[in-house]
């Protein structure tokens, strides 16, 4: 078995790993780089993999570990005859997202991953392990071929709502791993001894901030961070406020196929359509989608009246809608995504908007990735012959924390020994 990490040995995001055995190949993730210039055609970021630009029979499939754009974002440009192996809920989420955003995807040929159920394709045996991550339906992947075993961690953590999956992995890891490709997103960020807050530990922080706000509570988090949506919903229940989500988020929650998650038709959840989504509904004739939430819709005239009784899922594109409605007196905002986004120049207009509307912002967040101590537990449990760092800007620091580390370069082939 041979491996080429096309992107990932020196950066977070844009992951793409090609694996070859007996002249046949599969690819793990086809991600869009996080620093990709939005003004450049995304196709130009496709790695140089035989079969990506034109069909090639030796490329058997592309496997997507989870529905974050830095892992799937370029897969939509692959020839449609290439099978895409992905979790079913993950695919449903990406398909639903296509109605609202360019960052969705709908693959024509799919093979669905199921936890610890092996898929055989060509010389490869592919065994997925459902993991705890800020993306729903995320997997680590064990690849076996030609007597060798490679384990790809994908992105994972140990402090989310599926933390027991991490503990199950530690207690009963796959054996005889020749190579572990392990993410290291959090390496170089903060104190190596830090432990991250759990989702449940965030709830009291949200409760306190919601309770101290007289007006509308805005909560900026990803509509695809299902764990965080549950956290915010639980905080809403604790302070007796209704949770207002947009149509996009309502559809993402529905697409999970999990009825125990908050849904847009629940009595204490309302669905708001910003103008941009109204236009999308009209232009794309998505009336069947919007009508599902007819009984739970909240309209602008009601929002200003019910602001003090509400928590609203928010993104900066909604700023003008809310300002026009006149529902921001006494409002506050909780910021619940990676703090680094606030340092980008493109966020300055939003920060100015907060100041002009006298909206206080509090950061309440926990990482979607494993802490260094959890990464240590993970690597010790799998005990690979070699550990190859990926998905990190600080791969050179891996030998400080882990044993059997071997650094690789993007675009270089190497043998699994």
346 alpha carbon, distance to own chain's centre: 21
Q: What is the pTM of this model?
A: 0.95
The β-bridge partners of 152 are: 141, 181
Claim to verify: residue 183 and residue 252 sit in the same structural domain: no
Tell me which residue range forms the domain holding 177: 2-191+368-415
What letter would DSSP give residue 321? H
So what's the pLDDT on residue 193? 82
Give pLDDT, residue 37.
81
d(CA 296, CA 188): 45
In terms of domains, do 321 and 406 share one? no
Are 62 and 159 within one domain?
yes
Q: Are residues 166 and 249 in the same domain?
A: no
Q: Looking at the structure, tell me whether residues 337 and 376 fall in a common domain.
A: no
Q: What is the pLDDT along the chain (417 residues), one digit of tens a residue?
A: 999 999 999 999 999 999 999 999 999 999 999 888 877 888 899 999 999 998 899 999 999 999 999 999 999 999 999 999 999 999 999 999 999 988 889 999 999 999 999 999 999 999 999 999 999 999 999 999 999 999 999 999 999 999 999 999 999 999 999 999 999 999 998 788 888 999 999 999 999 999 999 999 999 999 999 999 999 999 999 999 999 999 999 999 999 999 999 999 999 999 999 999 999 999 989 999 999 999 999 999 999 999 999 999 999 999 999 999 999 999 999 999 988 888 888 899 999 999 999 999 999 999 999 999 999 999 999 999 999 999 999 999 999 999 999 999 999 999 999
Query: Could you tell me the CATH number of the domain that includes residue 251?
Result: 3.40.50.10710
Q: What distance in Å separates the CA atoms of residue 78 and residue 152, rounded to the nearest whole number? A: 22
Residues 173 and 307 placed together within one structural domain of the fold: no
Cβ atoms 151, 389 nearer than 8 A: no
| 3-state SS class at 391 | coil
306 & 376 share domain? no
Torsion of CA 362, 243, 263, 246, to 10 degrees: -80
Question: Domain containing 21 — which CATH number?
Answer: 3.60.15.10
Q: Are residues 270 and 336 in the same domain?
A: yes
Report residue 258: phi and psi, to 5°.
Answer: -110, 100
Report the distance separating Cα 3 and Cα 47, nearest Å: 14
Residues 297 and 328 in one domain: yes
Single out the residue in 320, 338, 363 at which a domain terminates: 363
181 with 291, same domain: the answer is no
In sequence order, the 6+-apart residues with CB closer than 8 A to the CB of 80 are: 108, 109
Number of domains in the chain: 2
Please tell me whether residues 403 and 316 are part of one structural domain. no
218, 359: one domain: yes
Beta bridge partners of 25: 20, 59
């Amino acid at each position: 078995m041979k491996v080429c990490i096309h992107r990932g040995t020196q950066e977070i995001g844009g992951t793409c790993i090609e694996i070859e055995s007996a002249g046949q190949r599969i690819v793990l993730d086809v991600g869009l780089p996080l620093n990709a210039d939005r003004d450049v055609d995304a196709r130009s970021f496709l790695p140089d993999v035989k079969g990506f630009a034109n069909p090639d029979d030796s490329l058997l499939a592309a496997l997507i570990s989870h529905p974050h754009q830095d892992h799937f974002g370029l897969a939509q440009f692959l020839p449609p005859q290439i099978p895409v192996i992905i979790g079913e809920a993950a695919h449903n989420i990406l398909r639903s997202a296509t109605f609202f955003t360019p960052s969705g995807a709908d693959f024509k040929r799919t093979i669905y991953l199921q936890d610890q159920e092996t898929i055989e394709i060509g010389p490869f045996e592919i065994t997925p392990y459902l993991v705890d991550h800020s993306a729903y339906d995320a997997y680590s992947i064990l690849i076996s071929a030609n007597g060798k075993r490679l384990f790809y961690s994908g992105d994972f953590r140990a402090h989310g709502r599926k933390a027991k999956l991490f503990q199950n992995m530690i207690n009963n890891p796959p054996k005889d791993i020749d190579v572990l490709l392990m993410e290291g997103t959090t390496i170089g960020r903060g104190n190596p001894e830090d432990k991250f807050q759990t989702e449940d530990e965030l709830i009291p922080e949200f409760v306190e901030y919601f309770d101290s706000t007289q007006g509308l509570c805005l909560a900026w988090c990803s509509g695809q961070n299902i764990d965080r949506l549950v956290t915010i919903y639980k905080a809403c229940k604790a302070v007796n406020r209704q949770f207002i989500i947009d149509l996009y988020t309502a559809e993402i929650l529905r697409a999970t196929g999990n009825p125990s998650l908050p849904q847009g038709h629940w009595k204490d959840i309302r669905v708001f359509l910003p103008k941009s989504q109204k236009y999308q509904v009209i232009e794309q004739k998505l009336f069947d989608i919007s009508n599902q939430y007819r009984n739970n819709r909240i309209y602008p005239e009601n929002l200003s009246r019910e602001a003090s009784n509400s928590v609203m899922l928010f993104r900066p594109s909604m700023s003008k809608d809310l300002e026009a409605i006149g529902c921001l007196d006494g409002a506050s905002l909780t910021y619940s995504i990676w703090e680094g986004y606030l340092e980008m120049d493109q966020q300055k207009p939003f920060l100015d908007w907060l100041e002009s509307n006298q909206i206080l912002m509090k950061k309440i967040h926990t990482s979607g990735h494993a802490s260094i101590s959890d990464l240590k537990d993970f690597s010790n449990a799998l005990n690979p012959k070699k550990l190859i760092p990926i998905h990190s800007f600080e791969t050179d620091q891996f030998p400080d924390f882990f044993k059997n580390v071997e650094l690789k370069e993007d675009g270089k082939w190497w043998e699994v020994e």
